[in-house]
Amino acid sequence: MADNLELIERVLGQMFPRVLGMKILEASQDRISAELTVTPEICTTGQVLHGGAIMTLADFLGASATFLNLPRDAGTTTLESKTNFISAAKVGDKVIATTEPVHKGKSTQVWRTTVTHDNGKLIAIVTQTQMVLEGPPPPEQAIARFFQGKSIEEQKALLAKLKHSGAAVYRMLAAQEPDEARKKALLEAADREVANAKTLEDQA
């Protein structure tokens, strides 16, 4: 949990919500909470906390909670956000916001953020849906896609080209390698790639 807290604090320091002066209190995969003290800079008329500040606070917490639950290399973006304003917070008031999951799915996550005074009086409830954005496929999966839908002959020809490319990379590395033994091993690997490419070309 300490690692999550440090991570979210670091992200906060790089983003727009930091102007609110919010402080992260706790951060886990199932709950994130933060507090802020209402200042004149984030108020609307009457020295009342601006609704946009409440929504920014909740949006950051909901997105952060989603982030902590994402698969490796995935991302997220806010798909929908709905805010019910219940009461006002004025300059000098301390506001506490806590977000908890409603739904954690593979393609979307839904989080509910409850915003209260430090005495527990309700200020607002924000429900937002976060879309889960898939990360790039693993290299082997990305390469396999090049072969999909192609005939056996086309697959062999393509694989032969990849082997020639691999040989070129091995030779490039060998040219930069000062150790003679490693250089020799790289050149031998290049020769094997060329031999494999020739085998595939002869079969095409």
Task: State pLDDT tens for residues 38-56.
Answer: 999 999 999 999 999 999 9
Q: Is the pTM above the cut of 0.85?
A: no
d(CA 113, CA 59): 9
Considering only residues 12 and 160, tell me which one the structure prediction assigns the higher pLDDT.
160
Poorest-confidence range of 140-149, 166-175, 176-185? 140-149
Q: How does residue 138 score in pLDDT terms, banded at 50, 70 and 90?
A: low
d(CA 117, CA 46): 18
d(CA 125, CA 115): 6
- Residue 15: DSSP 8-state: S
Q: How does residue 2 score in pLDDT terms, banded at 50, 70 and 90?
A: low
Is there a single domain that holds both residue 50 and residue 102?
A: yes
Contact in structure between 76 and 130 (CB atoms under 8 Å): yes
d(CA 18, CA 56): 10
DSSP 31-44: EEEEEEE--GGGEE
**The domain boundary residue, chosen from 77, 112, 133:** 133
Is there a single domain that holds both residue 54 and residue 129?
A: yes
Is there a single domain that holds both residue 17 and residue 91?
A: yes
How many domains does one find in the chain? 2
Is there a single domain that holds both residue 52 and residue 101?
A: yes
Question: Any idea how long the chain is?
Answer: 204
Is there a single domain that holds both residue 115 and residue 168?
A: no
Mean pLDDT of 89-108: 96
- Per-residue pLDDT, 81: 96
- Per-residue pLDDT, 144: 77
Whole domain around residue 41: which residue ranges?
2-133
- Per-residue pLDDT, 150: 85
Task: Decide if 204 is inside a domain.
Answer: no
Burial 147-162 (b: 16+ CB within 10 A, else e): eeeeeeeebbbbbbeb
Name the percent of the chain lying above pLDDT 70: 95
**The domain boundary residue, chosen from 113, 133, 153:** 133
- Per-residue pLDDT, 204: 60
- Per-residue pLDDT, 24: 93
